[in-house]
Structure 1
Amino acid sequence: MPNSTLYSTGRPAGRFTLRPMRHEDAAMVHRWVTQEYARFWGMQDNSIEQVAAFYHQLTAHNPHAALIGCCNDQPVFLMEFYKASEDDIGKFYAAQPGDYGMHLLIAPATHPVQQFSWQVFSTVIDFMFSLPEVKRVVVEPDERNTKIHRLNKRAGFCYQHTIDMGHKTAWLAFCQRENYQQALLKESLNMNDTHLLQAGTWLTGDTWAEANRLLIRKAIAEFAHEKIVTPAECAHGRYSLAVPGSETEYQFTASRLALDHWEIDAASLTKQENGHPLALDALQFITEFNEVIGIPQALLATYMEEISSTLCSSVFKLQKNNPDSRALVNADFQTVESSMTEGHPCFVANNGRIGFDARDYLAYAPEAATPVNLIWVAVHRRNAHFSSLSDLQYERLMREELGQSTVEQFNAQLTEKGLTHADYLFMPVHPWQWQNKLLTVFAADIANNDIVWLGVGDDQYQAQQSIRTFFNRSHPDKRYVKTALSVLNMGFMRGLSPYYMATTPAINEWLQDLVAGDEWLQRCDFRILREVAAVGYHNRHYEKAIKGDSAYKKMFAALWRDNPVAELKPGQRLMTMASFLHVDHHQKALLPALIADSGLAAERWVERYLSCYLSPLLHCFYQHDLVFMPHGENLILLLENNVPVSAYMKDIGEEIAVMNPDAVLPEKVQRLAVDVPENLKLLSVFTDVFDCIFRFISAILHQSATLPEEQFWQAVARCVKEYQQAHPHLASKFSRYDMFAPEFTRSCLNRLQLANNQQMINLSDPAENLKFAGTLVNPIARWR
């Protein structure tokens, strides 16, 4: 008989395969289905002939409706595979075209094999999701079948409600591909937890060496870009960087691109002392060059800890077995989000997370993507305040986020304590923040019942790249939640100010009205993710004692943000702009693969991208004196057939500014008005967009032979010109803030972090602490 294997995969127990059920399998299957443990299969009283007839009829028109699973060529399970819309289950819910179901029966064990049921179950789900037509798996297990419930939930199935199918009362449950991927990741983390935390063996070997190589490459490239170090050109694209006061040097091959960008070939990077090779060590690199880097002695140890933590994060991501760039082209939003490897493209120490221990890292780091259940507390209104959009009341928000039954349960808990629930607000808390800050810093408030523990929420969330923002995995169309997190990362303690929370929804409402009423922004389909509500809590003891700004004043606040998933239409997907800079563990970039899959020519694709990103930013600057923090993680792109069509801007309340101190703004919006020196205003485009985003996108497209960098920058110039030609009434502003100036000030982000890695800038005066190093040639100047 020819090989009829449909699927094959390896597991600890051996090689698992799937093949169509054959007529001669009927006697074997009969032995299985008539066992006592198989009572939920419903065939215990059937004869061999009845079993054979049933499966003959089942497979008559679809030979894959019944499959036999083998381990090391021995049959060990039976799988029934069906399309939901063509099965009885389709009568109990609105089946979608990509919904497929399965039934699973494992053969009686001849000898125990550890985790055998899970190995079988995961093989079945792997097979189903290997089929492109399968978008979601539906199951309807008997409500009494506790064993299969455990397996289903372990694989990421979301249980909805029970249904009466006549012959049984069943649970209706669904599993999307991303649910299963997250479940597998959690399995991997759980299995490796003890090994990772106690043995530390994951930090040795080739992966550790590779992480050091990649980080030193980035350090040389970005420090050279900022004129901190100056590599010497040798010949044929080779460069050397001498260690001050020694015979040691680094050598590498590099391309020099626009905006003084150094594209260094990682494989070419070596370190030598008098011609003898030395190991690449990122921490040693920092100490070797600190005399020229200039980190203050009091801050050097913290910066080195951030470098070390960034290395550990890199090792984890290199070993995590993320989907490669080709796979990410069609992956879902949150799989792409958890597969990012780099963090901020400019900062060298960009994954510090000072405050997380190794267990915290696995639990809360975005790349770990471990499901997180937020803690809920009640906070007394005398110390807390709720703010929201004008059409969103507190009670409605709680019902929509928690559910009415949970709201009633929380109210009952307060009543049982002798407290009046109307005096309190419900508030989500990051688990790390509760354990590490609130239980100690806010101990007096807890003792006085100003903060009351309610419990752990039912919904599971996934940390986003910004660490303290969470996406709801249990209900993907619910709002994002952002919490205070007193962890030091990339020059900031990631707290959340209760003072800012008081006005954040009003600022978002003002901005939404501005965007909705602006013809050009509507033409660009520019959108904002509104921060719709917030709760801020004031620790009166610390606030009275501390006069200036302090992390202790930003430890306890939360906000809710719009979720674009709720607006998706068929054929659309979401991806942060940071994804456009992603390079996988094979050093293959996602962006060229995305463009190739779109079917558009690269230049046309870039034009579409610029229309929904650069053009609205230009308009906000010139028409409204309005600037954002438009880096990769703050932008979510809406794509149709992998072509950008809209941009969602987020982080509104904390990171936007109106660069006109005399602007007439509503009272709750007035804090946005800032006084910025005239010569620095346009850096909001030149630095934040050109230098921090386009410099890397153009390099990726150029190095991959997708689009020469000259054509990329020419497309940028066309976008600027088209905007200016459409707005002749702004000609005086175009002249004053000249996008085609020959050069612009080189603003240096690493210099900022190196000078003060505790608090890089003052958000209320972002120009105050900027660091400069000469100028950069404007890559679009020649197309004036």
Structure 2
Amino acid sequence: MMPLTTAVPETAEAAERSEAAAPAPTPRPEDLTFTPVDPDADAATVAAWLTHPAAAFWQMGHLSIDQVRDYLREISDDGAQAGWIIREQGVPLAYAETYDPARVLLDEVFAAVDGDLGMHLLVAPPPHDPAARRPGLTSAIMRAVVDHCLETLSAARIVVEPDVENDAVAAKNAAVGFEVLREIDLPGKRAALSVLDAERARAVRAQGAEPAGAASQVPHLRPEHLAPAQRHLVAKALAEFSHERLIAPEPDGAAERWVLDTGTSRWRFAARRYALHHWAVEASSLVREDAEGAELPLDVQQLVVELHRMLGIPDDLLGTYLEELASTLASAAYKHHRGGPSAAQLARGRTDVDVAADFQQTEAAMTEGHPSFVATNGRIGFGLDEFGAYAPEAGRTFRHVWLAARREHTLLSTAAGLGEEAHYAAELDAETRERFVARLTALGLAPQDYLWLPVHPWQFQHRVAVSFAPELSRRDLVVLGEGGDEHQPQQSIRTGFSRTAPERSYVKTALSIQNMGFLRGLSPAYMRATPAVNDWVAAQVRGDAFLRGVGFEVLREHAAIGFTGDAYHRAEPSSDQQKMLAALWRESPLPLLPDGQRLLTLAALLHRDDAGASVAAALIEHSGLAADEWLAELLRAYLLPVVHCLEVHELAFMPHGENLILRLQDGRVVGAFMKDIGEEAAVIGERALDEEIERIRHVVDDAEAAQVIFTDVFDGVLRHLAAILVGDGVLDEESFWGTVSAVLAEHERLDLRRRRRLDLRAADAVHHCLNRLQLRNTRQMVDLQDASGSMIRAGRLENPVGG
């Protein structure tokens, strides 16, 4: 039997039809009574309502009266749920359920707080006789249910989760003031998690309707959501600018109290300092004062304006950086508004949905774009609707627009043994492939003359349909329509994960928005060798017994495509316009995941929920291991493979949080997948390479090779994780870095044929700075052809595992 609380509860569509008929008296909410459901007396009535087509979203129309009676008894006997029959003068009109979302249905997906109450509503089907139908009935019942929850049951906030396809209930919910927070996966449906608090319900009732148009599109841009976003981002700016020695706060009297005087404002705060010159700023302690000591609002843009000379931002780029900060604030306010799973929920994972849905819940829940960068969610080019559709935190899905690209101007590269036909058969269902062929044939074009290329919907709307107008007009490019798969945006915003068929590849496409110092294009020239590069890297990794033993694997980018039949490629100078039409396909981790394991992005280990709890601490608790033992397992799956690849294979990855996917079992890290191989892997020595992949060779000396560990792992990930675990009282700093040292020693003792032996015990290392890069040139942080030469250094950092 399908539990009622996992189905979508509403028959508003039928009621709306009834309201369009002949007039009849509309009940007042106060005329409706609520009595606890009586399973024996009410089962037949509720069962009859459930069989009506309008109740299809309940998914219970197949149940017998006895089965409904058993279900209602289950609800009545459960202390976390209750059923109610709603009557007018003794006549039953509707059935409602209330439940504790911390214990029922949403307990793995929603961080419920005291006073939250879940609600479901089933309205009786309309009479067959139009004259007997009553306009406004469903609306009156809905208002009565809201009043019952808020007033009689003393709820502070009502939570509902209707199916995203139930437009009728969405309209009814909006009419009484419910706000959609985000889309979530629940058993049997994709749901629009929505909330209504008492204050908002009263306001909507008083004004007669929910605000329409633009006023309803920015519920996140309110003081209660922006204030914590400002506080967090100011704290992060002070911490990271101090870490990079751009600013130097002074002691402010008491221990661990600091002040930064910009000449315009004084910024006072509490902070602890850790290894690697890490500043852990306590956001709640932040105070900004004017010259007379009067308190001023916290404002990260104002902080940058006051510091911009010290930060080295060119005058002509200051506005761009401030715009990226504004966008980052808007994103953070949205994340605060939509809420998210608690750290404990993310650590435990979902048991009510499949592994893919569990994995993607975490992906959408992340609130920190990058642990070190301050302006992390620029996304200049996205509008409000596009933010809601394509930002990973919105948790929604989209379909790629597919183009047919004339073969003579297009190159599709595939992994060895794959081939064009097998590739498209694996990534597109048969109906879609047939539709694409039919489209070309109907236009009088020969399908064999074209290759198929996926395009992000934003890119099609804003770039392809405009910037490639000549190519579309002469049929060098042909619009085929949407693909069949729904894709969910990843933290790497231009990459989509197939929710329709999770075993299919990620699809990464060009997305020409400005974000974190780059226009997010993809170069067709660079894509040409991507599958061959990935084949070679995968052969090194999969052929290595040590890497197999620690559960380290790579996700190959096994196909890539790029179009070059445009004026931008005929022009000699390189330009961003040459990177607007390309895509690649990367293996999904799902087919490679052993039974009983789940997936979690490495970035999640640095995530804190709205209450300030950390996922890392929750995972340690869930694992049952001592903190140092849990950390050691993480390092064997993450740190040691990166070191091993550098020393044994002279192979460097970009091992930051978004590029690693951890494999977990009962809270313990048992392995890892590395991704983003084609653009970011490099061979750092003179070992033999096929000419086709020679572009990945970037020969560096041992000291610079070791910087991969110092910069990307120690400084980029572990210093943040150390501060979290120490700050949470889970592990002291000495034990943290002592565990790192001990795990490194395990690898140092191994009898391996090393091409290099890196000195990771050096007393100090060069301090490479990320924010300095973005501040210097927010439009292009580094020259991708010489990333190492583009780095900005700020002295040296003492090595916490130095010998």
Band the TM-score falls in, shorter-chain normalisation: 0.7 to 0.9
User: 2:428 matched to which residue of 1?
Assistant: 402
Alpha-carbon RMSD across the aligned residues, in angstroms, is 3.9
TM-aligned CA distance change 1:388 to 1:7, over 3 Å: closer
Change (3 A) 1:114 1:396: farther
Aligned to 1:48: none
Aligned partner of 2:712: which letter?
D
CA distance in 1: counterparts of 2:644 and 2:463, whole angstroms? 42
* 2:521 matches 1:490: no
Aligned length: 698
Residues 740, 801 of structure 2: 8 Å contact kept:
yes
Q: Which residue of 2 aligns with 1:108?
A: 125
Q: Which residue does 1:510 correspond to in 2?
A: 536
Distance 1:392 1:597, change over 3 A: same
User: Hey, what does 2:496 align to over in structure 1?
Assistant: 470
Quote the Cα distance in structure 2 between the aligned partners of 1:634 and 1:726: 27
Q: How do 1:623-634 residues align onto structure 2 when only pairs under 5 Å count? A: 623-634=648-659
Select which of 690, 699, 721 maps to 1:697: 721
1-structure distance, mates of 2:590, 2:670: 15
Q: Give secondary structure in 2 for the equivalent of 1:367.
A: helix
Query: Match for residue 65 of structure 2?
Result: 55
- Give the alignment partner of residue 801 of structure 2, picking from 770, 780, 784: 780
Deviation at 1:475, TM superposition (A): 1.8
Q: CA deviation digits over 1:714-740, x for unaligned, max 9?
A: 11101111101003654x943xx3101
Q: How does 1:21-36 map to 2 (within 5 A)?
A: 21-25=38-42, 28-29=45-46, 32=49
Residue identity matched to 1:757 = T
**1:710 aligns with one of 734, 742, 747:** 734
Match of 2:186 in 1: 177
- Tell me which of 767, 791, 796 is aligned to 1:770: 791
Q: What SS does the corresponding residue of 1:268 show, helix, strand or coil?
A: strand
Question: What secondary structure sits across from 1:269 in the alignment?
Answer: strand
Report the more deviating stretch, 721-730 or 595-604: 721-730
Q: 1:293 is matched with which residue: 304, 311, 322?
A: 311
Unaligned runs of 5+ in 1: 45-50, 81-102, 123-136, 138-146, 156-174
**Does 2:566 correspond to 1:540?**
yes
Paired residue type of 1:278: L
Aligned AA (1:547): P
**Partner of residue 349 from structure 1, selected from 362, 372, 375:** 375
Contact 2:35–2:84 (Cα < 8 Å) also in 1? yes
Q: Does 1:584 align with 2:609?
A: yes
Q: CA deviation at 1:276?
A: 1.1
Counterpart of 1:96 in structure 2 is: none
> Is it true that 1:433 corresponds to 2:459 in the alignment?
yes
| Residue correspondence of structure 1 range 368-407 to structure 2 within 5 A | 368-407=394-433
- Cα deviation for residue 446 of structure 1 reads 0.5
* Residue number in structure 1 paired with 2:321: 303
Displacement of 1:676 after TM fit? 2.9
AA paired with 2:711? T
1:266 matched residue in structure 2: 283
Deviates more, 1:586-595 or 1:554-563: 586-595
In structure 1, distance between residues paired with 2:714 and 2:330: 30
Separation of aligned partners in 1, 2:721 and 2:672: 17
- 5+ residue gaps, structure 2, are 13-28, 98-119, 127-133, 147-160, 171-183, 198-208, 351-357
Which of 63, 70, 74 is the matching residue for 1:64? Answer: 74
- Once the 2 structures are TM-superposed, how far is the Cα of residue 458 of structure 1 from its aligned partner? 2.5
Which position in structure 1 is the counterpart of 2:705?
Answer: 681
Cα distance, 1:390 vs structure 2: 1.4
Structure 1 residue corresponding to 2:637, chosen from 612, 625, 636: 612
Structure 1 residues 6 and 42: alpha-carbon distance in aligned structure 2, compared to 1, 3 A threshold: closer
Aligned partners of 2:502, 2:211: CA distance in 1, in Å? 28
**Distance (Å, rounded) in 1 between the aligned partners of 2:417 and 2:395:** 33
Structure 2 CA distance for aligned equivalents of residues 24 and 449 of structure 1 = 68
Partner Cα separation in structure 1 for residue 714 and residue 373 of structure 2: 16
Identity score, percent: 39
Letter matched to residue 510 of structure 1 = W
Compared with structure 1, are the counterparts of its residues 120 and 433 closer, same or farther at alpha carbon in structure 2 (3 Å cutoff)?
farther
Residue pair 1:58, 1:65 contacting (<8 A) in 2 also: no
Which residue in the other structure is 2:250 paired with? Answer: 232
1:375 deviates by 0.6
Please say if 1:411 is aligned against 2:421.
no
1:280 matched to 2:298? The reply is yes
Task: Name the counterpart of 1:565.
Answer: 590
Residue 750 of structure 1 is matched in structure 2 by: 771
Q: Match for 1:759 among 780, 783, 786?
A: 780
Report the alpha carbon displacement of residue 459 of structure 1 after superposing the two structures with TM.
1.7
Displacement after TM superposition at 1:73 (Å)? 7.8
Does the 8 Å CA contact 1:7/1:18 hold for their aligned counterparts? no
Distance in structure 1 (CA, Å) of the matches to 2:704 and 2:682:
14
d(CA) in 2 for partners of 1:30 and 1:179?
Answer: 20
- Matched to 2:305, the amino acid is T
Q: 1:43 to 1:605 in 2, by over 3 A?
A: closer
Contact 1:241 1:249 in 2 (8 A): yes
How is 1:197-212 mapped onto 2 (pairs within 5 angstroms)? 200=218, 202-212=220-230
For the 8 Å contact 2:163–2:190, the answer to whether it is kept is no
Alpha-carbon separation, structure 1, partners of 2:514 and 2:35? 50
C-alpha deviation, 1:469, in angstroms: 0.3
The CA distance in 2 between the partners of 1:429 and 1:271, in whole Å, is 46
Show CA shifts across 1:256-291 (max 9, x none).
Answer: 111111111101000112221111111111110011
Mark the CA change 1:551 to 1:117 in structure 2 (over 3 Å): closer, same or farther.
farther
Instruction: Return the match for 1:522 from 548, 554, 570.
Output: 548
Paired with 1:186 and 1:319, the residues of 2 have a C-alpha distance of 10
Equivalent residues of 1:379, 1:425 under 8 A apart = yes
> In structure 2, how many angstroms separate the alpha carbons of the residues matched to 1:60 and 1:775?
69
How has the CA–CA distance of structure 1 residues 117 and 178 changed in structure 2, closer, same or farther, with 3 Å as cutoff?
farther
Residue matched to 1:144: none
Q: 1:9 to 1:438 in 2, by over 3 A?
A: closer
Shift of 1:382: 1.1
TM-score normalised according to structure 2 size? 0.79
What displacement does 1:106 show?
A: 4.3
2:389 and 2:684 map into 1 onto residues whose CA distance is 40
Displacement of 1:753 after TM fit?
A: 0.7
2:591 aligned counterpart, secondary structure:
helix
Paired residue type of 1:253: A
Is 1:603 equivalent to 2:628 in the alignment? yes
Give distance in 2, aligned partners of 1:715 and 1:607. Answer: 6
Instruction: Judge conservation of contact 1:655–1:763 (CA < 8 Å) in 2.
Output: no
> Aligned to 2:394, what secondary structure does the other structure show?
coil
Aligned partner of 1:177: which letter? L
Q: Structure 1 residue 209: deviation in Å?
A: 1.9
Q: C-alpha separation between the residues in 2 aligned to 1:205 and 1:252?
A: 22
**Deviation of the 1:179 alpha carbon:** 7.2
- The answer as to whether partners of 2:524 and 2:581 remain within 8 angstroms in 1 is yes
CA distance in structure 1 between the partners assigned to 2:637 and 2:492 by the alignment: 23
Q: Which residue pairs with 1:223 in the alignment?
A: 241
Deviations 1:664-705 (A, max 9, x none): 101221111013355322111100000010001111111111
Distance 1:337 1:415 in 2: 40
Kindly state the Cα deviation for residue 65 of structure 1 after the two structures are TM-superposed: 9.1
What per-residue deviation string (whole Å, max 9, x for no partner) do you get for residues 294-344 of structure 1?
101111111111111111111111111212212222241111110100111
Looking at structure 1, the residues matched to 359 and 52 of structure 2 have their Cα atoms a distance apart, in angstroms, of 44
Of 509-518 and 59-68, deviating more is: 59-68
Residue 194 of structure 1: CA displacement?
A: 6.0
- Partners of 2:474 and 2:73 in 1: CA distance: 68
- Structure 1's 153 and 559: CA in aligned 2 closer, same or farther, altered over 3 A? farther
Q: Matched residues in 1 for 2:56 and 2:430: separation? A: 38
Partner of 1:721: 745
